[in-house]
Chain A
């Protein structure tokens, strides 16, 4: 236990004082604030008396001058933060010859991985919470409408899932820092994987979906739905998809329907006119996505343990 806490404390201090992190933090704050500034402007001009969930629109609207919304911005930046915190976790200890010395101390090897992971997770939490707080504070001043209780809960859900999304990328990059002995290699591979999963997964999923269930203009509606379902399922391999879907359900209660099943639930529960999903419904619907994201993180961890605990530690 003392080992875990000591590693955690050192790593957290390292993280919070590293230039790498401070630069990233400054960039993210700036970009986040800029996004919200534009978004708040366009919300003010579009709100009328009947609009529900005004505050949460801060997080969902994309401004006219800005092509993307706050969640999109988060889904882009959180992996980068996770990777930046984890890609050299173990191999930098190795190349600086500290690893032999560290593992000669009376601590379990898991404590090194766990301590580094927890420190990274805490760093991500600090970043996400402070960013959302800044954004909410700014938004409150600019649009002048306080959030309702449910909106606050939804925002907490958003914070939670964002941290979980960061945890996955952190665990993955720590795994890569064990697999690849050189920090440059592990950085390259994690970033390549991120680009693949984030930017290319939709195209890949589409390609496979169309190859397995070909559709054209004459196809039945049923076939088109099958094709759509398959494509969605394939793209759920990517944590970005899982995150995107969860965020959609949490923050866009009026229209968040990432699957046909969801559509049915929302219609059944509300008659024929889709009504905003209740918070409970939103949570139930996002449950599989949440579990998948946790499972992916757990897989990275198990592989890390297996590789690291039996590995020979040579200083040369």
Chain B
């Protein structure tokens, strides 16, 4: 296991609304410096979990420590080190981007000079420097979302929590947001990213937790989850060849990066770490056989996700 210290630790964290349990006995550890993806369909309890992390709602029971503090009773300390971008964030529409960030800087106790410098820096990071004096009423959803990230960065957080930052954003905007998040991780910030859009999370997260109906049903690296669900290798390659001889199978097994080879119903099912279709074709021909069809599939979180969510 990694030696990194944990920044978020929860044990049996539970939130009930009347008889309805929104988060059920969540036990989770998030380590320093990782990008953690909190995945799950709508209503899974992601937002509720995040609200508890920030002391914005009170847990019904269970233990929770964020950066070593109790979010409910040491809320100020937690909020000094943790940045939060709410789902569908809002700003003061009658103020400019800079004025909005000015207020956040003041609330975080930054001096005027510090604030000016920091605001320039974070606006640059999210690519909104040219728009800094525009009123928020003229901002698109994607721009608001990026300004939301800038708003989080103002306080120089150790941990940034983004709730559905890519939801409702066009592909170009999603691209921008994801690359900003990757940049943050390079600067040793921990990021928690909640989403129901798996292909976004998959691109940036080192580890994911999958939530369904209030339960954390899986928590691991994407790679390990993939292995557990889909078998060895990152790619699944299916090859139809005639004839399939032992020689062919052995030759394929010797290709670098091949994790597994099986023959099922006269079809070669190959797990591999990389796309080695050309090498496989060469091996088949070199061993006096003929490839008649080849299909490649990259495993993705979608499968893993659907598997766990359906199991619930």
Contacts and interface: CB of A to CB of B under 8 A. Distances in A.
A pairs with B: yes
Interface in A288-316: 310, 312-316
A104 B75 CA distance: 9
Interface string B82-117: 111011111111000000000110111100000000
Given A104-B83, A106-B79, A312 B89 contact: no
A220 to B, nearest CB: 59
Interface stretch (A1-9, A69-77, A274-282): A1-9
Nearest to A108: B76
A44 interface: no
Interface of chain A, helix or strand or loop or mixed? loop
B272 interface: no
Size class of B's contact patch?
20 to 34
A104 B56 contact: yes
A219 interface: no
Given A105-B104, A105-B107, A97 B76 contact: no
B91 A104 contact: no
B278 to A, nearest CB: 49
Contacts of B24: none
B89 A9 contact: no
A106 B76 contact: yes
A205 to B, nearest CB: 42
Contact of B89 (A3, A101, A313): A101
Interface residues of A, number: 24
Nearest to A94: B90
B88 A104 contact: no
Contacts of B89: 97, 100-101, 315
Interface in B161-191: 163
Nearest to B152: A104
Contacts of A101: 84, 86, 89-91, 104, 148, 151
B84 A100 contact: yes
B224 interface: no
Contact of B106 (A6, A108, A312): A6
A102 interface: yes
A103 interface: yes
Contacts of A3: 107
A231 B214 CA distance: 58
A20 interface: no
B7 interface: no
A104 B82 CA distance: 8
8 contacts: A10-B103, A97-B90, A98-B91, A100-B86, A106-B109, A107-B107, A312-B56, A315-B89
Interface of A: 2-3, 6-7, 9-10, 96-98, 100-108, 310, 312-316
Given A98-B90, A312-B56, A316-B88, 15 more contacts: A2-B109, A6-B107, A7-B107, A97-B88, A101-B84, A101-B89, A104-B79, A104-B86, A105-B79, A106-B108, A310-B58, A313-B57, A315-B89, A315-B163, A316-B87
